[in-house]
Structure 1
Amino acid sequence: MAPDDLVPDGAPQDAVVVDGRQTQVWRSLDELPADLGPTVVTIGNFDGVHLGHQEVLGVVVAQARARGAAAVAVTFTPHPRAVHVPEEPLRLVTSPAQRRELLAATGLDGVLELDYTLAFAAQSPREFVESCFVRGLGATAVVVGRDVQLGAGNSGNLATLVGLGEEHGFEVVTVEDLGVAGGRWSSTAARRLLDDGDVTRASRILGRQHRLRAEVVHGDARGRTIGFPTANLSQEVEGLVPADGVYAGWMLRRGGGADAVLPAAVSIGTNPTFDGTQRRVEAYVLDRTDLDLYGEAVELDLVAHLRPTLRFTSVDELVTQMDADVVRVREVLAAEGPPPARP
């Protein structure tokens, strides 16, 4: 079944288009086309869509192409931890929209986002597999890691899934647990590194530079008065905002052309020199004072952490440090090279 045929008549049409290719997004089992199957399926939270996720999703797409099936990832909204441990808020690496785009970029034909509730979590492994994989998706194969868990209390494991596959006619394909030196690729590890400001090491888990996205809004306009006009991002930033500090990065604009990718010094913090209290993300595009970005949604790819946020005793001292920051940003970005194209 082609991606354009994956929408049932009368169902909400929601899709992500990456490089001209459409990936359908369904928000419930009821939205699935009755004749969707066969499919090759995987399941997970996919926060960050890191290199481990990409390895699994690559197998899903390859298996689907070989079988003439649709490649589908099953995921959850909200993150299960937010439901089971609501007293401990979880800061996600990617927003739901960013996650969809990154999943689509792997070549999937569809993403099924299931509403995660305590009632949903109470399903037995059999109930979940039969309703989702068998009746809903018509799975011919399910791709998982060896540590897969499913069903109430994570009571189902790989052996459970294999047994249900034998009963219902789908194959279970396992992907070996791969990772970086010293540990696994994991969303938890990426979050920890970002919280420490180590965007460079986080990128080695994610397989790309960490990205923030938000609309540019009006700020205090101090930067313009001292020769460093900044684009201030709104408080609704998509992507986990890392530790306070100054970063080298790239600003990406969707308009294309010569200004599509711009070198930037990115500041995250409360502007302690000016007794600020609100945490902000702002970016100075190197050597540019002519940009009018207000109201535009921009993206920032963070390459390296340069220094912590500091309180300066005077504006002159701040400007001297910012001049030094710009020099360092140039050096880092020249060594790194421009970011590869991605969603």
Structure 2
Amino acid sequence: MRIIKDLAEITEPLRNAVVTVGNFDGVHLGHREIFRRVKSTAADSGGVSVVVTFIPHPLKVLAPEKSPRLINTYAEKETLIEACGLDYLVEIPFDRRFAAMPARDFVAEVLVGKLGMKTLIIGYDYAFGRNREGNVSLLTLLGDEFSFKVEELKPISNGSTVFSSTAIRKMIAAGDVKGVVPLLGRHFSVGGTVVHGHHRGKGLGFPTANLETEKELLPKDGVYAVKVKVDDVFYDGACNIGTNPTFRDEGLSVEVFLFDFEGDIYCKGVRAYFIDRVRDEKTFADVTALQQAIADDIQRCRDILSKAFVIEYDEYLKG
């Protein structure tokens, strides 16, 4: 997949481009169905498949106070879209100047003029452009004018729940990392670099790795059973997200205790896959009570993880 971050890189229109436009935060199963349709239509027409998205998320520019915490970092989104097998990912820099562009100009100048769009496929009730004027009605009229087809997909669901980035964010924020898998299509994960923390874990008998991450959206404070990928090897572990109220810490931390692991992972990149939630974060009366709680947490995590396997993006995209 070719990633285009500057429209100036495109010197001539693409071949019979089949395009979809959206934010695609989460690259969940609903997005995957859109991408499948784009790919199959491109294959049938002898064209290329193109995903157009915006960086940063438009609300971060237009209404920062309403901007959601994103499910994926931008780098994760690139990886997930590439895994879907698309030909092109066009990342349009979003600023107030671009936001003021009328939908008609965006279609005429960018989608048709630059990309050579012949078919536009959009999700249900999606709209773009100034004041969201680029809805399916306007796009159909523009399709007649500029000779491209428009296809609006029906709501995509698993039979009971419509796939939605908003719904997925709410579930993750509530700590429902197990329940979100059928919507997200994979286990929610947090990647980052192991950095030095307070070094209390070793003194408690449970040395932890403090994870520094660019992830905006984290599960609700608490303890989770996780599988952690280190150098392409998975280790079972327990993860605590929170402020360590027993020690009255300030600021949120993501700490992972790897079971049966020996080695130095400071400054190393790791990824934690959240399998299930174990409990809320609590304040304990003393260190002894905290140690016992951690021991209990570890046993619960071992029990959960003994029957679990990680669904990564490469696995949920197979077939």
TM-score normalised to the size of structure 1? 0.87
Q: Is the aligned partner of 1:175 residue 2:148?
A: no
CA shift digits 1:74-126 (9 cap, x unpaired): 00111111122123343111111111111111111111111112221222221
User: In 2 relative to 1, CA 195–338 (structure 1 residues): closer, same or farther, beyond 3 Å?
Assistant: closer
Q: Check the 8 A contact 1:268/1:282 in 2, yes or no.
A: yes
Give the secondary-structure state (helix, strand or coil) at the position aligned to 1:147. coil
Displacement of 1:157: 1.7
Number of residue pairs matched?
A: 315
Partner of 2:131: 153
Decide which of 89, 93, 97 is 1:111's aligned counterpart. Answer: 89
Match of 2:287 among 310, 315, 321: 315
Match of 1:334 in 2: 306
Aligned counterpart in structure 2 of residue 74 of structure 1, from 39, 52, 68: 52
Q: 2:73 aligns with which of 95, 103, 115?
A: 95
Q: Which runs of 5+ in 2 are unaligned?
A: none
Structure 1 counterpart of 2:225: 248
**Maintained 8 Å contact 2:187/2:312:** no
Distance 2:304 2:11 in 1: 49
The Cα of 1:323 is off from its aligned counterpart by: 1.4
**Superposed CA offset, 1:135-173 (max 9, x none):** 111112111124131322112321221222222222222
Distance 1:181 1:66, change over 3 A: closer
- What's the C-alpha RMSD, in Å, of the aligned pairs? 1.8
Taking a change above 3 Å as real, the CA distance of residues 268 and 31 of structure 1, as seen in their structure-2 partners, is: same
Overall identity of the aligned pairs, in %: 36
Going from structure 1 to structure 2, the CA distance change for 1:341 and 1:50 (only over 3 Å counts) comes to closer
Q: Which amino acid aligns with 1:309?
A: E
Task: For 1:74 and 1:172, locate their aligned partners in 2 and report how far apart those are by CA, in whole Å.
Answer: 15
8 Å Cα contact 2:222-2:277 kept in structure 1: yes
Matched residue SS, 2:239? strand
Contact kept? 1:211, 1:239, Cα under 8 Å:
no
Deviations 1:235-278 (A, max 9, x none): x433511111000111112x33xxx1111101101111222112
**Distance in 2, Cα, partners of 1:155 & 1:339:** 38
Question: Quick one: structure 1 residues 67 and 239, their matched pair in 2 at CA, closer, same or farther if it must change by over 3 Å?
Answer: farther
Residue in 2 that maps onto 1:14: none
Gapped runs of 5+ residues in structure 1? 1-22
Structure with the greater relative contact order (CA < 8 A, sep ≥ 6): 1 or 2?
2
Secondary structure of the equivalent of 2:126?
Answer: coil
